[in-house]
Amino acid sequence: MNSNLLIREFVNDDCKTISNIIRDNLLNVNIRDYPEKIINNMSRIFTPEYIVDISKVRKVYVVVEGTKIIGTASLDKDTIYTVFIDINHHNKGFGRILINFIERIALESGTISLKLPSSITAQGFYEKLGYHAIDSIESEEFGRDIIMIKNIVKE
């Protein structure tokens, strides 16, 4: 792991940066796979206040390089949510490092498999990390989510 890289638990002061990273990804990356109406709806949802609210029910983590937050993910029991890396840091291994960290946390808590709702955009990324699709959910509000799962217990 990059010696300048730290993964830590979210604190409320992180909310604006996390909101910006998520919205930036939605508007510049996920827009390729989803209609503008869905992207705009999701962008409205991921406010700094919403990030603080979800941190009350999920463990939210941030990836920090030096002093700059460059990514986030959250864990709720056996499900990973809201995985986003700053678009200027895509394809540099930070997402993989973050998912590996979340998997270790889950494993230490006794979880044997993890689920995640993936966007169409991120499905290939998760497949490379060993997740496989088990279902798909469509909604007018959020578009398609691909439900993916991975056994994290070493056999």
69 found inside a domain: yes
Q: How high is the pLDDT of residue 3?
A: 64
Query: What is the value of pTM for the model shown?
Result: 0.93
119 found inside a domain: no
27 found inside a domain: yes
Provide the CATH number for the domain around residue 95.
3.40.630.30
d(CA 19, CA 23): 6
Q: Is residue 26 within 8 Å of 59, Cβ to Cβ?
A: no
64 found inside a domain: yes
39 found inside a domain: yes
d(CA 112, CA 49): 32
State the total domains in the chain: 1
How many angstroms from the chain centroid is the CA of residue 49? 17
147 found inside a domain: no
For residue 92, what is the DSSP state? S
pLDDT tens figures, 73-124: 999 999 999 999 999 999 999 999 999 999 999 999 999 999 999 999 999 9
Q: How high is the pLDDT of residue 104?
A: 96
CA atoms within 13 A on the CB side of 148: 23
Range of the domain at 13: 5-110
144 found inside a domain: no
pLDDT tier at 22, thresholds 50, 70, 90 = very high
d(CA 104, CA 92): 20
23 found inside a domain: yes
